[in-house]
Amino acid sequence: MPEIPIVENILDANDQLAARIRIEFDSAGLLALNLMASPGGGKTSVILKTIEALKDDVRIGVIDGDVVPLDLEKIAEMGIPVSLINTGGNCHLDANMVYSALPSLDLNALDLLIIENVGNLICPAAFSLGVHYDVVIASVPEGDDKPYKYPAMFKGADVLLLNKMDLEDYMGFRVDYFRHGVEVLNPGLTFFPISCRTGDGFDAWLDWLRTAIKAYSNGQETTP
């Protein structure tokens, strides 16, 4: 009898639940994003700045698995419905955690749902959450060798934000070297160099996001 690693069974069950979650998102007509990054890579900054820019005409909700109470308070203070996932110290979100959080949000009242994953560039890549796009944020201070060290994360990404571009010169960050590493793993990946601090590059990300929100707003779209 062939040996079946337990991890395969776990991931299979996760994928089945992720497919059910996707049906909920699609029938609600919202765009769902899974935001992944290292701790300090700028997930919360990107979320706050995105909310700031879009909140007047886009109904946004946030599911947070990266539990820093201060971050969550800031988001809630902007009038954004927030659902907190208690990961119990887990290093990633899985479909079961997200599925359990769904009843706490009125999905039909949202255009955009942002899921902030646990700060970690390794295992979150292995667990589908049923979202439309897996968005990875890398940042300049982490170094230009990140794609070479964490290939699974960059291979599975649908969109890549490179944050803190204002520190590029200061850190001696080689954008070409970074992009080459990404391109080998994930050719043609949608890529936005940004700076949350200066706002540089942020409009391109927002334009992409507005287009994606529109595409999923009728509840007719399926997997990209």
Rounded CA separation 51/72 (Å):
13
| Piece of the chain touching Mg ion by CB under 5 A; list 41-49, 72-80, 97-105, 142-150 | 41-49
Other residues' Cβ atoms within 10 Å of the Cβ of residue 70: 7
- Asked if 34 contacts 55 with a C-beta cutoff of 8 angstroms, the reply is no
What Å distances lie between residue 151 and 43, 113, 147, 174, CA to CA? 19, 26, 5, 18
Question: Is 142 a binder of Mg ion (CB under 5 A)?
Answer: no
Question: Is 186 a binder of Mg ion (CB under 5 A)?
Answer: no
DSSP label at 167? G
Question: Is 44 a binder of Mg ion (CB under 5 A)?
Answer: yes
Question: Is 124 a binder of Mg ion (CB under 5 A)?
Answer: no
Counting residues that bind Mg ion (by CB under 5 A) gives: 4
| Piece of the chain touching Mg ion by CB under 5 A; list 60-68, 91-99, 148-156, 208-216 | 60-68
Distance of CA 191 to the CA centre of its chain: 14
Rounded CA separation 53/55 (Å):
6
- Which among Mg ion, Zn ion, none contacts residue 123 (Cβ within 5 to 8 A by kind)? Zn ion
Among 66, 111, 134, 144, binds Mg ion (CB under 5 A): 66
The three-class DSSP label of residue 89 is: coil
The secondary element (H helix, E strand) that includes residue 188 is none
x/- string (CB under 5 A) for Mg ion, residues 70-99?
A: -x----------------------------
Question: Is 111 a binder of Mg ion (CB under 5 A)?
Answer: no
The secondary element (H helix, E strand) that includes residue 205 is helix 202-216
| Piece of the chain touching Mg ion by CB under 5 A; list 24-32, 44-52, 89-97, 127-135 | 44-52
Which stretches of the chain bind Zn ion, using CB under 5 A?
91-92, 123
Q: Which is nearer to Zn ion, 92 or 146 (CB)?
A: 92
| Site residues for Mg ion per CB under 5 A | 43-44, 66, 71
